[in-house]
């Protein structure tokens, strides 16, 4: 039983899927455990190489069988993850690297595989978020091959009651065998907001928290714990007062979500205030048609997902068909397509780029794609052609200066002329915008407005660069402060530049969809909010509670405050007072 001094202890992590859960903890052990290590004689090497190849083949066949068994229940996001995951089994580079260790170090297959997987995991961890999340794929493949070599069984849930699943890391193939109906919530030690566990949890409506350390030493299996996926907290064996508060908040959260979802189609209040709510998406899987119908359009369509999980670049005609399909699904409303954002720390399997010491600050986004004709020209041609079939905007990622915009404008003009000569129809005057993610671009907003038709602020990366903080690194995550006065001053500067130049400005980072930050943006003058579909009810609730003038007054009153905490407390108090009898879960957390 949990000791009295442990009862009620609060552990802080990273909320990766919103919601509240209360239930018994179940520890999911998916590590293969100790791996034997032994030296080989020269005559043993050939047999060990054969063992490795046979194990890789058997592991791949097992994975394919499990994937087929649940194929009809997988979302498009999950299918894409598993396709990339499956490619690792047939990756000659991985197999050759392990074989080289067997031959060079005279190690048994298990030890050589472990050393290579550890090497790759360390390499990927030093890269950006997208590659860090691939560590789970690499470890998963390694674990499965190890289990074949060692003849050990894959982990499974025990018993039959609903549980809160706790694991060091939930690997992709684990989710193929888990009974999701038995999961109340998920808690992991590692895994960020784009990890497979986050995708699984959000798709299934499960609260989830990552970055929780030491839970196993505080709570025996079966101990009741509370999980707050909104604030990223876990309470061990809640005391009576804590438990009552959790139950009330859980009920309040569920009621409010139902109420907000019922009102999702009411857009009259936004129109009356001149507010537009748009969506950030990369596909239409699991997107509620009512949510899509209630949005003013798509403020950010991430096109790089079209390029992933493939052996080669998609052709111009393939991209054209894809973009036309997106426009058709949105039904005449605007779609802003961000050109492919890869390079440096976000490479494609079929695109070789130089290895960089600091890839997050290196050759990526617009810096790469518009120096790489195989990427830029087919995509821009396809987008220009698709613009003849609906309202389409082109958004350029990772813009730093006006020269980049001028270069792209010249290229677009040339491509449009080429398309017309070839008899292709294109959209007329397709708007071109810059993504404001680099602090230098934010400071140069007025100059960029002279070159662009619109700006789109990506607050996630902008704040990480501004504070020099990885928000998924729990050692420094506290320094990621979206309501810091410096952030509000910088965002206000960009919005003011847009107003002065008569150019549209959208915020498409997380700040646009989260209650208090959305309120602050409204007060700064923002009228176009683009967000994850899951955040639309929350944003709609707060933006309907305040008129733009009221929000502006709050931001003006907060101008004398000096810390993130002070601004947050001030806005929370104002929002709670304004909401009156209406319970907004994100305000009470």
User: Locate tokens 């470890």: which residue?
Assistant: 139
452 catalytic per annotation = no
Residues 6+ apart with CB under 8 A from 567: 483, 484, 485, 488, 520, 558, 561
Q: Please name the helix (run of DSSP H) or strand (run of DSSP E) that holds residue 290, with its range, or none.
A: helix 289-294
Which residue in 196, 484, 535, 564 is the catalytic one? 196
Rounded Cα distance between 524 and 548, Å, is 9
Longest Cα separation, the chain = 81
Q: How far apart are CA 364 and CA 370, in angstroms?
A: 10
CA dist 81 → 78, 181, 308, 478 (Å): 5, 21, 10, 30
Number of Cβ atoms within 10 Å of the Cβ of 396: 21
**Could you say which of 449, 508, 535, 564 is catalytic?**
508
Q: How far is CA 111 from CA 7, 107, 152, 387, 496, in A?
A: 41, 6, 16, 54, 59
Report DSSP state, residue 309.
T
d(CA 504, CA 265): 24
Q: Is residue 449 flagged as an active site residue? A: no
Rounded to an integer, what distance in angstroms lies between the CA atom of residue 82 and that of residue 73?
Answer: 13
Retrieve residue 99's tokens: 């074989």
Name, in order, each residue with C-beta under 8 angstroms of 508's C-beta and a sequence gap of 6 or more: 278, 280, 299, 300, 456, 457, 458, 459, 530, 531
How far apart, in whole angstroms, are the C-alpha atoms of residue 190 and residue 104? Answer: 33
Q: What is the DSSP string of 460-529?
A: HHHHHHHHT--TT-TTTGGG--TT-HHHHHHHHHHHHHHHHHT-EEEE-SGGGTSHHHHHHHHHHT--EE
- Residues with active-site annotation: 196, 508
């Amino acid at each position: 039983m949990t000791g009295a001094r442990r009862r009620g202890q609060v552990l802080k992590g990273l909320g990766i899927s919103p919601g509240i859960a209360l239930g018994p903890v179940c520890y999911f052990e998916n590590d293969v455990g100790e791996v034997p290590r032994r030296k080989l004689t020269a005559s043993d090497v050939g047999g060990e190489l054969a063992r490795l190849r046979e194990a890789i083949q058997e592991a791949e066949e097992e994975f394919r069988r499990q994937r087929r068994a649940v194929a009809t229940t997988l979302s498009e996001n999950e299918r894409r993850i598993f396709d990339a995951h499956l490619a690792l089994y047939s990756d000659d580079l991985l197999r050759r690297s392990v074989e080289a260790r067997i031959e060079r170090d005279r190690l048994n297959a298990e030890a050589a595989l472990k050393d290579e997987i550890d090497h790759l995991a360390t390499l990927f961890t030093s890269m950006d978020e997208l590659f860090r999340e691939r560590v789970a794929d690499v470890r998963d493949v390694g674990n499965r091959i190890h289990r074949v070599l060692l003849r050990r069984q894959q982990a499974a849930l025990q018993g039959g009651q609903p549980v809160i699943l706790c694991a060091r890391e939930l690997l992709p193939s684990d989710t193929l065998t888990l009974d999701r109906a038995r999961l109340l919530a998920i808690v992991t030690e590692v895994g960020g907001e784009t990890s497979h566990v986050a995708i699984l949890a959000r798709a299934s409506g499960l609260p989830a928290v990552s970055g929780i350390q030491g839970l196993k030493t505080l709570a025996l299996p079966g101990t009741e714990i509370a999980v707050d996926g909104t604030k990223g907290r876990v309470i061990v064996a809640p005391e009576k007062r804590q438990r009552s508060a959790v139950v009330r908040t859980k009920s309040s959260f569920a009621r409010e979500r139902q109420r907000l979802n019922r009102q999702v189609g009411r857009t009259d209040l936004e129109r009356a205030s001149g507010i537009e709510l748009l969506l950030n998406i990369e596909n239409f899987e699991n997107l509620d048609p009512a949510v899509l119908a209630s949005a003013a359009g798509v403020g950010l369509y991430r096109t790089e997902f079209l390029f992933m999980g493939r052996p080669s670049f998609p052709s111009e005609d393939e991209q054209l068909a894809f973009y036309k399909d997106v426009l058709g699904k949105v039904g005449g409303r605007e779609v802003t397509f961000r050109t492919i954002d890869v390079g440096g720390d976000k490479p494609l399997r079929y695109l070789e780029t130089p290895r960089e010491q600091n890839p997050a600050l290196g050759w990526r986004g617009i810096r790469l794609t518009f120096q790489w004709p195989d990427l830029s020209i087919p995509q821009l041609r396809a987008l220009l052609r698709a613009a003849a079939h609906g309202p389409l905007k082109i958004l350029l990622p990772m813009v730093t200066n006006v020269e980049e915009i001028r270069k792209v404008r010249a290229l677009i003009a040339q491509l449009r002329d080429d398309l017309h000569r070839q008899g292709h129809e294109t959209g007329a005057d397709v708007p071109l915008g810059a993504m404001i993610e680099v602090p230098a671009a934010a400071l140069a907003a007025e100059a960029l407005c002279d070159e662009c038709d619109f700006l789109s602020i990506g607050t996630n990366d902008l704040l990480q660069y501004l504070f020099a903080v990885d928000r998924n690194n729990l050692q420094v995550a506290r320094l990621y402060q979206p309501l810091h006065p410096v952030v509000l001053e910088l965002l206000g500067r960009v919005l003011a530049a847009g107003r002065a130049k008569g150019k549209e400005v959208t915020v498409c980072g997380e700040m646009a969809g989260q209650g208090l930050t959305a309120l602050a943006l409204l007060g700064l003058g923002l009228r176009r909010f683009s967000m994850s579909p899951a955040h639309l009810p929350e944003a709609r609730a707060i933006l309907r509670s305040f008129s733009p003038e009221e929000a502006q007054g709050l931001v003006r009153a907060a101008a004398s405050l000096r810390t993130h905490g002070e601004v947050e407390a001030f806005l929370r108090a104002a929002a709670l007072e304004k909401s009156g009898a209406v319970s907004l879960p994100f305000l009470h957390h």
